[in-house]
Structure 1
Amino acid sequence: MKRTTVFTAVVFAFLVIAGTTTNAMAQELIVSAAASLTDAFSDIEPAFEKANPGVDVVMNFASSGALYRQIEQGAPADVYASANPKWMAKAVDKGFVNKADVQVFARNSLVLATPADNPAGVTTLNDLVATKVKSIGIGTPETVPAGQYAKGALVARDMYEKMTSKMIFGESVRQVLDYLSRGEIDCGFVYRTDAVKAGDKVRIIEEIPLEKPVTYPISVLKEAAAPHMAAAFVEFVRSDEGMSLLEGRGFKRP
């Protein structure tokens, strides 16, 4: 019994060490992706790891602008996926990304949404200037692409300045979605994929016409620690399997 116990303990210790060694040998791939991609890329992560044994994908989700600032300040990242071309263009201009490596992989749409019970009775975009609407959620335009799209649409209709006193700014489009889901604002601007994710907690009022469509570019970063695996991840996202996973979350093909 004593010898068996000792033997078992040795085997257990060996397995722990072996497992630790295996984990240590796993190739880490850091993907910085826009907050609106959280669900889709959380689906893609295990699918990519299954297709590439020994790779550990680490997802970093935030607003596209916040992610760019992280990259600018030297934070490690192998892949950058933005919710609009603006921040990717900055990454190219500042030398973090090769322009030739940038590829658009998905499209989305911007919608005006309310909490399910729609307490302010919003029926159209024009209602937002009415006194019955007290609070409007919008991503901070300077850093959140959804906010930038929304601001552009409102400025084009000469509505933005009339509504700024009502605006509740979110650090990401997902934060605006949370405000809507909890009924903390009368209405807000989010992507259709986000509104669909919220299910019966959120009501879509209308799609917002935009001058330019909502597009998502992706690229390997020049300073990627794992450039070949980063390129493989980008190709996987654009593959039929990757596209199917994106479509499953409401995104459209580019």
Structure 2
Amino acid sequence: MKRIPRRALWIAGFCIGVPCSVTADDITVFAASSLRDALGTVAAEYEAETDVTVTLVFAASSAIARQVAQGAPADVVLLADQAWGHWLIDEGIVQKVDPFASNRLVMVARDQIQVDRQNLAQIIGDNLVAMAQVDAVPAGRYARAGLVSLGVWDRIEQQVVQAANVRAALRFVQRGEVRFGVGYASDLVALPDLVEIYAFAPDTHEMILYSGAHLTQQGNDFMIYLQSVTAQDILGDWGFAPLPDLP
């Protein structure tokens, strides 16, 4: 009996839940949830310029990295850090990952509050704080590291509400179910009813570097486009920061 490639099995399963009329030129991009709005705009511009259809699949970086490693039909994988990209390299799935954007880590609420480093723990008080999963999702890891650096984590750890991804975490705040949340500055563009009440200094956590990799030649073309002026301007409009000078 002929063995069916794992990628082909993934495509069959993927098309059950997503309309599929895939051609050789179409591409599928697996991306971190925090890229949802910006990448939708980038993909629309790419389609207009190339006549290539782009299918976008969003989840936490940890989830999409594992799915790609298991044979998910991705041409491109875009992650909210470099660590999961390096994990894919170690697994032999991709040869390299390239950074393409940065971001800022912020605490958010539905109303403006005066917060500084000295009164952060006091302001949080007994309120719940939403963030992405702290052991796996980049936004959650950044958030825990920032709060540890500020000496607040041990005080509030039991008040943390963890979600599958950063956008899901901030939805808790948006709906009024949780008072505070920790996420990215770019999330505030997509969720304008939330406000930034505290900005974490860059030295309180690992540098936020969004990175991506291609798995096919069509995916490589998209990765090149992601570094273009057009795509970078779109990312900037959605609150992402340009790449810092890297060593």
Match of 1:188 in 2: 181
Amino acid at match of 1:95: G
CA distance in 1, matches of 2:218, 2:59: 22
> What is the CA distance between 1:115 and its match in structure 2?
1.6
Contact 1:133 1:186 in 2 (8 A): no
**Structure 1, residues 113-134: CA drift from partner, whole Å, max 9, x if none?**
1123x6xx66245433567432
CA distance in 2, matches of 1:78, 1:248: 25
* Count of aligned pairs between the two proteins: 220
SS of alignment partner, residue 206 of structure 1: strand
Say yes or no: does 1:235 pair with 2:224. yes
**TM-score, normalising length: structure 1:** 0.81
Match of 1:173 in 2: 166
Contact 1:36 1:174 in 2 (8 A): yes
Contact 2:104 2:241 in 1 (8 A): no
TM-aligned CA distance change 1:38 to 1:24, over 3 Å: closer
SS of alignment partner, residue 231 of structure 1: helix
Amino acid at match of 1:215: L
> What is the CA distance between 1:26 and its match in structure 2?
6.2
Contact 2:131 2:170 in 1 (8 A): no
**TM-score, normalising length: structure 2:** 0.83
CA distance in 2, matches of 1:113, 1:25: 42
CA distance in 1, matches of 2:22, 2:211: 31
Say yes or no: does 1:67 pair with 2:59. no
CA distance in 1, matches of 2:22, 2:130: 43
Amino acid at match of 1:232: D
Match of 1:20 in 2: none
CA distance in 2, matches of 1:24, 1:153: 43
Match of 1:220 in 2: 214
134, 147, 154: which one aligns with 2:140? 147
Amino acid at match of 1:37: L
CA distance in 1, matches of 2:232, 2:28: 20
Structure 1 unmatched runs, 5+: 1-22, 222-226
CA distance in 1, matches of 2:95, 2:218: 16
> What is the CA distance between 1:209 and its match in structure 2?
1.4
CA distance in 2, matches of 1:107, 1:218: 12
CA distance in 1, matches of 2:94, 2:70: 15
* Rg comparison, structure with higher value: 1
Contact 2:105 2:185 in 1 (8 A): yes
TM-aligned CA distance change 1:131 to 1:30, over 3 Å: closer
Match of 1:110 in 2: 105
> What is the CA distance between 1:34 and its match in structure 2?
0.7
Contact 1:139 1:169 in 2 (8 A): yes
Cα RMSD (Å): 1.8
Identical-residue share of aligned pairs (%): 29
Contact 1:105 1:216 in 2 (8 A): yes
CA distance in 2, matches of 1:46, 1:142: 33
SS of alignment partner, residue 26 of structure 2: strand
